Chain A
């Protein structure tokens, strides 16, 4: 059973548009949600993260919106650039009894067309 789900599997937007990547989770104990960006041939790099006490986290063009009641979150990339083309992974972990393990979704591959 997939504990962290992402949609869509792939997404294409034009340069300058806002890309919206969705994520949902099953485990109510999850309280930390990082998003990782991965380019081909590279390891995932932390992009932005949110804790469940917040409903929004913003860092430049990247914003996470979090809905704890619905167990959903989304990553908004405003003014998308061709350099944003990558795979984005939503991940989750629980602080209580946590060994630091992150559970990853299957990823959303974003293509930004110039």
Chain B
């Protein structure tokens, strides 16, 4: 099926640093999402993005979080500054007609 690529697969950073997670969505998809998964448990919605704008965000999408997709390049999630509770696996997804396709995730460890 369609592939969503996430870079890097793992990231370890110190608390307070900035981190950018990169996502290469399916080429003709128009909707983009970030989800957070802790300890292999529930996938929790963070934010979705369409036509250059955030459409909806959850309470997990703190002020320290931001997303963008400049000029059709990577769809990014930036966390600045990071906190210990940001440690999780972050999944990017994209869709065109309602079906979400997920990447393999970026495991973020904040020390």
Contact = CB atoms under 8 A, between A and B. Distances in A.
A34 B40 CA distance: 19
Given A34-B99, A87-B40, A100-B31, A42 B104 contact: yes
Interface residues of A, number: 26
Interface stretch (A11-19, A56-64, A75-83, A103-111): A103-111
A45 B102 contact: yes
Interface in A89-114: 89, 91, 93, 95, 98-107
Contacts of A44: 43, 91, 102
Given A99-B55, A101-B33, A101-B56, A46 B42 contact: no
A46 B43 contact: no
A36 B33 CA distance: 16
Contacts of A34: 99-100
A26 B80 CA distance: 35
A83 to B, nearest CB: 17
B95 interface: yes
Given A99-B55, A100-B33, A32 B98 contact: yes
A23 interface: no
Contacts of A100: 31, 33, 48, 55, 95, 98, 100
B98 A46 contact: no
Interface string B26-66: 00000101010000111111001010000110000000000
A46 B100 contact: yes
A45 B93 CA distance: 11
Contact of B40 (A32, A40, A95, A99): A40
B74 interface: no
A23 B42 CA distance: 14
Contacts of A102: 43, 45, 100
Interface of A: 32, 34, 36, 40-46, 49, 87, 89, 91, 93, 95, 98-107
14 contacts: A36-B102, A43-B104, A43-B105, A44-B43, A93-B98, A98-B98, A99-B48, A99-B50, A99-B55, A101-B33, A101-B45, A101-B56, A102-B43, A105-B42
